[in-house]
Amino acid sequence: MSRRVTCAARLGVALALSLAGCGRGGDARGEAGAVKVGIVLSTGGRGDHGFNDAALAGAGRAARDLGADTAISQDVGDEGSPDALKAYAEQGRNLVIGISFMTSQPAYELAKAYPAVRFAVLDYTPVKDEQGRALPPPPNLAGVTYRAEEGAYLAGALAGLKTTTRRVGFIGGMNAPVIRQFEAGYAAGVREVCPDCVVMVDYAGSTPAAFSDPARGRALADAQYAAGADVIFHASGATGTGVFAAARAAPAGRWVIGVDVDQWNEAPGRVLTSVTKNLDVSVFGLVRGVRAGTFRGGNLSQGLAEGAVGYVYDERNRPLIPTATYERVETLRQAIVAGLIKVPRVPAVRAR
């Protein structure tokens, strides 16, 4: 995807988020002063070169372009996020955003307790009742989800077409549904173009700390490269810092795929592509919706068709991707957008 196409798609995401309803969550147009926003970052915080930094870019743009009064909680960790969300609600902030699926449950409960405050969660995981049924978000809670498996599918196809060893790897952070989406899409994309390729899968852990363990990421990536993987896709937050270190140290012909934002600078010349989520546009669109009085709650799913996810193809990584490979991947992208390919969200039985 060229940068020009990406920018056009990102505008579409912002429009969808800011105009996604008719003020069901309340109208901020009559409130005095700037829109007051509270943002609670996930584990890894500022400087993760991924998920959190992308959201912060959107917050910065909202402050510059919309005059938003933005407060950031970055050192509380996922365990402290409920208290941070509540503190912003008690301050009477117009919009409180959780940058992690881990904030889904507390945001759901707080939205019911503070109906005048708008809440949003990026990578929202539905809250379930005692029978395991998903409950709809309150009208003042926007649950933003990304069909990340669609972007991961394209990365998998690219890896399957690039590999010469027929062994590729996936490294996730916390073993949780939102990360298993990446695994599922990636493995399916590999199988689409290379049915006999082996996909090695490792997770850094089962708690939020798995998103901030570069040493663990390095060890897992070193092991996968040593076992023959020549392309590794990570979806592991700051743990990915170690994955990139392994890629930089690996022999020639070993590649890595970034996540959430363009991570080329983490290992220049070794980053085959990055699977992107436009969190910056999501944050900006949510703030703009509150400012315009068009914010609404509910579930909002975004994927390739909406331009909310994608993959990087530009002047820096183009030399690594043969034209025929790019064209094959683009054909698959178009098929997903057209509804001809349904990408799985749950991993199949793993083979190693």
Which residues have C-beta within 8 Å of that of residue 226, sequence separation ≥ 6? Answer: none
Q: How many CA atoms lie within 13 A of 136 on its CB side?
A: 6
CA atoms 22, 23, 29, 34: torsion sign: negative
Cβ(160)–Cβ(316) under 8 Å?
no
Q: Which amino acid is at 162?
A: K
Give me the DSSP letters along 232-258.
Answer: EEEE-GGGHHHHHHHHHHSPTT-EEEE
Q: What tokens were used for 317? A: 């990584």
**Which tokens sit at 119?**
């809440």
Which homologous superfamily does the CATH classification assign to the domain defined by 3-146+278-302? Answer: Response regulator (3.40.50.2300)
Residue 234 to residues 34, 35, 241, Cα–Cα distance (Å): 38, 36, 10
pLDDT at 27: 40
Equal fold, 3-146+278-302 vs 149-276+314-337: yes
What is the predicted pLDDT for the residue at 216? 98
* pLDDT mean by block of 10 residues, the chain; 352 residues: 41 40 35 83 80 91 96 77 95 96 96 98 94 95 96 98 98 95 98 98 95 96 98 96 98 96 96 94 94 94 90 97 98 98 88 42
Q: Report the pLDDT value the prediction gives residue 306, as an integer from 0 to 100.
A: 85
Q: Kindly give the residue spans of alpha helices, DSSP state H, lying in 72-139.
A: 77-90, 104-113
Please give the full DSSP string across 290-325, using - where no structure is assigned: HHHT----EEEEE-TTTTSEEE--STTTGGGS-HHH
Phi, psi of 337 (to 5 degrees): -60, -35
306-317 as b/e: b if 16+ CB within 10 A: bbbbbbbbeeeb
Rounded to the nearest angstrom, the gap between the alpha carbon of residue 230 and the centroid of all alpha carbons in its chain is: 24
Residues 251/61, Cβ–Cβ less than 8 Å: no
- CA dihedral sign of residues 214, 280, 266, 125: positive
Residues 6+ apart with CB under 8 A from 257: 155, 158, 159, 231, 232, 233, 234, 271, 272, 273, 274, 275
Report angle CA 337, 338, 341 to the nearest 5 degrees.
Answer: 80
pLDDT value of residue 43: 77
- Reading phi first (left if > 0) and then psi (alpha if -120 to 50, else beta), residue 51 is in alpha
Q: What CATH class has 149-276+314-337? A: alpha beta
267: CB partners within 8 A, 6+ apart? 244, 247, 248, 256
Q: What is the pTM of this model?
A: 0.80
Would you kindly state where each structural domain of the chain is located, as residue ranges?
3-146+278-302, 149-276+314-337
| Neighbour tally for 24: CB within 10 Å | 17
